[in-house]
Structure 1
Amino acid sequence: MSNSNEPNTDEQIAQLDQKLRAMNTSANQNSAYEAADPQDPLFAQHAEEYENHTRYAENNPADADPQKKDEEVPLSAQFQDEHARHSEQAEHMERAEETERAGQTEQAGQAETPGMAEKCFNIFSKLGLPLLMLFTLILCGQQFLFPRDFWFSEEVRYADIYMNMLSSNNFFSLTLNGHPYAETGPLYFILVWLLDAIPTINMPQAFFGSSILFAMLFVASTWILARGLGYSNKIAFTAGLILLSTFFLAGFTNYTRMDLLFAAFLNLSYVCFFRAWQKKSAPIWLIFAFLFLCFAALTSTLTAFILPLIASFFFFIWTGKYKRINSADGIIGFLLAILIIFAWFSYLYLQGDAEYISLIFEQQIMQKINPPHAYQSDPYWYYLAGLPLALFPWIFVILFASWGAWLKNSPQAFKNRRQENAGAWLFLLILTHLAVFSLLKNKSFSNLVTVAPFFAVLFAKSLLDFSKLRSKIFFGILSVLTVLSGIFFIVFEFHAYILEYLPNLWNLPGEIPAFIEVATKNTHFGLTAMGALFILLGILLWYVVKRQFTGGSILVYTIGAILALQPLNFLVAPQLGTILSTKNHAYQMAKTHKEENAVPAAYALYPDVFTYYYNEALNPETHSRAMITQIESIEALTDFLLNNSKVVLAISESEFEKLPYKNEAAILDYKQWIENQYVILTLWNISSHKPALNTNSHNQLIENNILNNSDGLLTQEDKNAIIDPDTANSGAEPENTEDYAKTDAATEASFGTEEQNQAPTEESETETQAQPLVL
């Protein structure tokens, strides 16, 4: 018998079953609610009904009776059916909208889809370094196949230095025109010799071939610089394209100088320094950094050592890595570089060239320093003015850079300056190079080639960050500039038909039209062809290329510029020898020397620019090492003419007209425009007789006063009058009175008796030659 206090088992089972059914109903409703799409228009209505039903069930648990099962289940089923129906409608509407959007996207995508140029750029950037070297070879490789004459001044001077090195078999002390030359290191000439050692290569192919290799190394070092600083393949590839499409580099690849090799070694050194400064200790990186820096110094100048040291010092300050200044991990690399320089000096000392060592310090360091009070031929802002020309046309990237975003992000960039400092390193290198070069006494436009890679990397990063609209506008302007450049080249070639129509206000200095006339005399319409190709490139960039895609636009422009410059390489450059080569002058001097036994000399000109071809004409097989005398003052010229029976003299036309005894010279039928003046060749033979004076009354009066002077002495005014009547009339003091004083005794003796004024006999000719001028 059961206990009345125990619960009824049947009732318990019923209650549990009721609760279970209620839980199932609630779970079904929750599932339907969760499965419902919030975007469904009836979702809000169903949600409200579900919440009301839940609250009612909670407030009226007694109504949750199993008998209401038939009412509750249909509610959930109704909700699910309605949700399914509306879901089908929503899916149908969504498919319709997707179809409509796909149509619109397809129409808009025709203008936004990257073109073939952009796709090629993305592929080429992965192959960046080999393609950049190939482009460089296309740009300047024809020089090796079709070598031209050497141009002044560096090209023909370097050729003479190289031939002196071969003839003397001395590779570590350089000579030029028989005199020591310590302005540069020997590494450049040693590398040329290594190329010349190949049996199938000879002069001048060795020089032009080395120029091509150094240009390729320069472009490759720029790519390595960008990658070494952590920039992407696209930025590194774009930096190389920017360099290859500048007129500045195109000019350098057509001229054999050591600047490209010097800049390449510096770039490699800067990469190693940057990677070393990112670590607490990096002896391996610093060893290579100082080695490349040493190679740069041995190529050009010892002042290269101060460039990375100054930049590194300010880099430590910017990044707050003060402890890095006192780190000793760079000692090994620095000592290794110094050891190489010391080995060079030791060799020179043991060979008896101790004076050459002092000459290195004098010419490479002391003479380059420009104290603030010293006179300088070029202003301090020389390089700032030259930058737009060196970086044309990419200098306009500065105007389109995102300066607002840069200023906005500068606080965050300052906080992250320890980790993200590649841009700071490039900026510091630019400032260091410009500051150091501006303080040096001798300024050269070629020095800007060392800062061009830094700008190229920064410009590349900025260009690839352009928005599509900004890219389209920038390359639109670039296309216009390209067309204008093409028009300029065409006008330059046909200047003769244009200058005569210019008004008087547009008259140019006399030297400029003369230079243009000579420069465009034998160009074989190369400038016109080049101009037409640039115009075509500008039109292509405007109408065909999708300018909103930066990478493709840069690639098209660079390839087009390389092709457009080919007429310059094949047609114009070989013909520029009429104004840039001294070969014809030197050959004529050698011919006169052989026929007349005349001694060669150059007045107020560098004789070094004639020496190479002069020796080549004397003996094409051995390049005999004859010298050409350099004369800088009229006193020295007079003495030289009187002490040599015959002299063949190279002199500018303007300086020749100033000579008071110019009528004594025989002007050879040869004249050439060199640098900024016409240079003529003259033959002199005044040692055998007294030269005739000018017939003007002033000089005649000076002669009579001197001859009537019982003491036989010349006053200072008389000396000035003899040298330059215009100077005497103006009352100006001569530039160098010491030289005049040295010739007083000889000048007095020269105005002796009538027997002395007569033509000397063969026996007394030697004595007469030893006496200076008698005017």
Structure 2
Amino acid sequence: MNNNTSPIWDFMEKHPWISVIMIIAMQSIFTMDYRSLWFSDEVRYAEVYHQMKDAGHWLVMYLNGVPYPDKPPVYFWFLSIIDAVTPADGISVFFLGSAVSAGIFLLSTVALARTLGCGRKTTLATGLVLLTNIFFIGIAHYSRMDLLFASFIIWANICLFKGFHSKHAPNWIISAFVLMGIATLTKGPLGIVFPILTAVCYLIWKKKLPLFRSKAVLKGFAILAVILLAWIIGAILVDGTSFIHNIFYKQIYERAVSSFHHEEPFQYYLIAFPLAWLPWSMAIFALPLKKLFNISHWRNVTALRESSLNDGRDWAWIMFISGFVMLTCLSIKVLIYILPLFAPLAILTAKGLMGEGDNPPAINSKKLWTAVACVYLLFAVAAPFAEIFFPFDFAIKGLSLTVLILGLGGLALLATRSSGKKTGLLIMAVTMTLWIQPLALKTLPSLDPLMSPRMTGEIMKEYIDQGSYPLAHKIYSGIFSYYAGTNIHETSDFKEIERILEEQDKVILVMQRKYFDRWENCPEGVTIINEQFISDRPYVLLRK
């Protein structure tokens, strides 16, 4: 393939928006109803959605029959639109929601690249970097709100950048704050923190901080406050002040300062981010790293920081660095929180690979394709060993085909590593699009017995339909409710369980195996009817 005259690349470069959407569609179109919903977020969010639809909880979300302060309503409204306007039904609604969210995220990132001054070549490369990132592909096939949340954050950044570099600044800035409000009602206050932090750091770097004290910014904050207060007041009217206290104290303050779960060491993202950015983290081996230790290089960067020629590059770097530092400083650390940082990093990676204007490429494509090929081949070699040492009594399906595709992709990159950047990008895009098909259609569904609570939930449903009282001890709230088809009485008190067992004629009870083994006063007549290892721990199902 001639890197300079490829008709495929030429078409894609002329139509980067259409190209990235076509690729994400090909990666997703056959995977809408291919597996069960997995522990823990998928089954809980599905139950929240059904409680919203069936019980009419449209303003305050409910899980297992009680208020669910963890998540605001926008994502679930988004799912209801998909449910209403598409043929999707059942769990396909949730997987289509993931695919559409991934498409929105891609278009948002492409729009950010164009806004920051990238040409069509770099804009297309930006989309291809995302579409060949393993973590992004995985999240595009997992049902949760983070891609939609990150998309609103990206669009807020677009509006803020335009607001600081446009004659129509007030409209752009006000639009940014509206998007921050929507982002916050999609997942939480990081929807405000990410873009505001980027804007402030950027203006400090550019010595233009007074721009942040404009009337438009004040109006924007006022509109943002109105949006959030409207929801807060509505939530208070629906569910009282305890719900709001839970949100502001437990879900926001405690998570930021002293997280009650997902607390990780300070260096967590320094280790996790390079793994999540694979295979593109291998670009570190293709960069001229000597520049990082060259004092004159940094003097030049600092001297030119007020130059308008570097505005787009500086915004992307500051968006990534400020977000990374902020996440590192939070008490709670969850890998999915890094998604908003993928947009600027994809842009910077594409700029480094393709070069922009008079700037030559900073990334040596030959070294990069060699490193990426090694990642593909390493995965291809390691996958069969994962199947051999798999400690469960069911088989992982489809690995041979996924191994073959990765292996061929790695060999193709090695064979064409001197052909240039465009050839390598196309090979990676084809490899990942082919690889996800057997992975999604065969391998992931075969993991349902390990990853989904469906088997236990459906057994519970059978007993509940026959009159058994549904009961659970100290579980991750709501994980069985969706497949059980009803709310489940959840408690951490064995005395309460013993009382219910005494009062009810028939009971179906689920708990972790370790708690059952510690249960000193287990009543007679309670027997184990099923045991399932879910995610990382065994659960036993008991009946009376």
Quick check: TM above 0.5? yes
Aligned to 1:398: 284
Deviation readout 1:1-26 (Å, 9 max, x if unpaired): xxxxxxxxxxxxxxxxxxxxxxxxxx
1:557 to 428, 434, 440: 428
Distance 1:258 1:559, change over 3 A: same
- Aligned counterparts of 1:162 and 1:589: Cα–Cα separation in 2: 21
1:171 counterpart = 2:54: no
2:278 maps to a residue whose letter is F
Q: Which residue of 1 is the match for residue 396 of structure 2?
A: 523
Q: What's the Cα RMSD here?
A: 2.5
- 1:644 and 1:258 mapped to 2: Cα distance? 39
Equivalent AA in structure 2 for residue 489 of structure 1 = A
Confirm or deny: 8 A CA contact 2:353 2:364 kept in the other structure.
Answer: no
Greater alpha carbon shift after TM alignment, 459-468 vs 597-606: 459-468
2:211 alignment partner AA: R
Q: d(CA) in 2 for partners of 1:354 and 1:469? A: 54
Cα distance, 1:403–1:151 mapped onto 2, change above 3 Å: same
What's the CA shift for 1:161?
0.8
Specify the alignment match of 1:359 in structure 2.
246
Of 614, 617, 623, which residue of structure 1 is paired with 2:484? 614
How far did residue 357 of structure 1 move? Answer: 3.1
Cα deviations across residues 223-274 of structure 1 (Å, max 9, x unaligned)?
1111111122222211111111121012111110100001111111111112
With over 3 angstroms needed to count, the CA separation of the structure-2 counterparts of 1:483 and 1:117, relative to structure 1, is: farther
Contact 1:470 1:548 in 2 (8 A): no
> Partner residue of 1:270?
157
Q: Deviations over 1:640-679 (max 9, x none)?
A: 4344444321122232222224473543442211011121
Answer yes or no: is the 8 Å Cα contact 1:605–1:651 preserved in 2.
Answer: yes
The CA distance in 1 between the partners of 2:313 and 2:493, in whole Å, is 52
> 1:183·1:363 contact (CA, 8 Å) conserved in 2?
no
Deviation at residue 162 of structure 1 after TM alignment: 1.0
Q: Is the CA contact 1:117–1:555 (under 8 Å) kept in the aligned structure 2?
A: no
Q: Distance in 2 between matches of 1:638 and 1:434?
A: 48
Distance 2:465 2:457 in 1: 12
Where relative contact order (Cα < 8 A, 6+ residues apart) is larger, the structure is 2
Shift of 1:574: 2.1
Q: Which of 370, 383, 386 matches 1:492? A: 386
The share of aligned pairs that are identical, in percent, is 24
1:174/1:181 contact within 8 Å kept:
yes
SS in structure 2 opposite 1:379? coil
1:523 offset after TM fit, Å? Answer: 3.0
**CA–CA separation in structure 2 for the residues paired with 1:117 and 1:241:** 19
1:132 to 20, 37, 62: 20
Q: Which amino acid aligns with 2:518?
A: K
User: Could you list the runs of 5+ residues in structure 2 that have no partner in the other structure?
Assistant: none
Q: Does the CA contact (< 8 Å) of 2:200 and 2:212 recur in 1?
A: yes
Report the Cα distance in structure 2 between the residues aligned to 1:349 and 1:662, rounded to whole angstroms.
Answer: 41
Residue among 351, 368, 372 paired with 1:478: 372
Q: Which whole-Å deviations, capped at 9, do the CAs of 1:359-381 have from their partners, x for residues lacking one?
A: 33234422322259x99731122
Answer yes or no: is the 8 Å Cα contact 1:211–1:257 preserved in 2.
Answer: yes
Q: Which amino acid aligns with 1:134?
A: M
SS of the equivalent of 2:135 reads: helix
Q: Secondary structure at the match of 2:150?
A: helix
Going from structure 1 to structure 2, the CA distance change for 1:199 and 1:470 (only over 3 Å counts) comes to closer
Q: Which residue of 2 aligns with 1:225?
A: 112
Query: In the TM superposition, what is the alpha-carbon distance from 1:349 to its structure 2 partner?
Result: 4.0
Between the aligned partners of 1:467 and 1:341, the Cα distance in structure 2 is 44
Aligned to 1:429: 319
1:504 matched to which residue of 2? none
Corresponding residue for residue 537 of structure 1: 409
Question: Are 1:452 and 2:342 an aligned pair?
Answer: yes
1:387: how far off?
Answer: 0.5
Residues 468, 549 of structure 1: 8 Å contact kept? no
Q: Which position in structure 1 is the counterpart of 2:470?
A: 600
CA distance in 2, matches of 1:653, 1:180: 28
The 2-side partners of 1:405 and 1:125 are apart by 31
User: How many Å separate the matches in 2 of 1:485 and 1:199?
Assistant: 37
In 1, are the aligned partners of 2:409 and 2:431 still within 8 Å (CA)?
yes
Task: Return the letter of the residue paired with 2:336.
Answer: S
Deviations 1:336-388 (A, max 9, x none): 2222222223333444644433333234422322259x997311222221111
The 2-side partners of 1:159 and 1:301 are apart by 19
**Contact map agreement 1:311 1:428 (CA 8 A) in 2:** yes
Q: Report deviation, 1:181.
A: 0.7
**Partners of 1:346 and 1:375 in 2: CA distance:** 28
Write the letter of the residue equivalent to 2:396: T
Counterpart AA for 1:592: Y
How far 1:199 moved relative to its partner? 6.8
* Maintained 8 Å contact 2:27/2:433: yes
| CA–CA separation in structure 1 for the residues paired with 2:100 and 2:283 | 29
Question: In structure 1, what is the equivalent of residue 512 of structure 2?
Answer: 652
What is aligned with 1:627? Answer: 487
Letter in 2 for 1:425: W
- The partner residue of 1:464 within 354, 362, 367 is 354
Written as runs of structure 1 = structure 2, the 5 A alignment for 1:205-216 is 205-216=92-103
Tell me: CA distance 1:665–1:564, structure 2 relative to 1, closer, same or farther (3 Å).
same
- For 2:245 and 2:222, how far apart are their aligned partners in 1? 21
Q: Deviations over 1:375-428 (max 9, x none)?
A: 973112222211111101110212322344575544333233221132322222
The equivalent position to 1:670 in structure 2, one of 517, 530, 542, is 530
Q: Is the Cα–Cα contact under 8 Å of residues 146 and 339 in structure 2 kept in the other structure?
A: yes
In the superposition, relative to structure 1, how do residues 164 and 266 fare at CA in structure 2: closer, same or farther (>3 Å)? same
Structure-2 separation of matches of 1:192 and 1:474: 39
Determine the C-alpha separation between the residues in 1 that align with 2:443 and 2:5: 31
Partner residue in 1 for 2:72: 185
8 Å CA contact 2:235, 2:243 repeated in 1: yes
Residue 238 of structure 1: aligned partner: 125
- 2:332 is aligned, of 442, 462, 465, to 442
Bigger drift between 215-224 and 193-202 goes to 193-202
* TM norm structure 1: 0.65
Contact in 1 for aligned 2:286/2:367 (Cα 8 Å): no
- Equivalent residue of 1:330, what SS? helix
Answer with 1 or 2: which has the greater Rg: 1
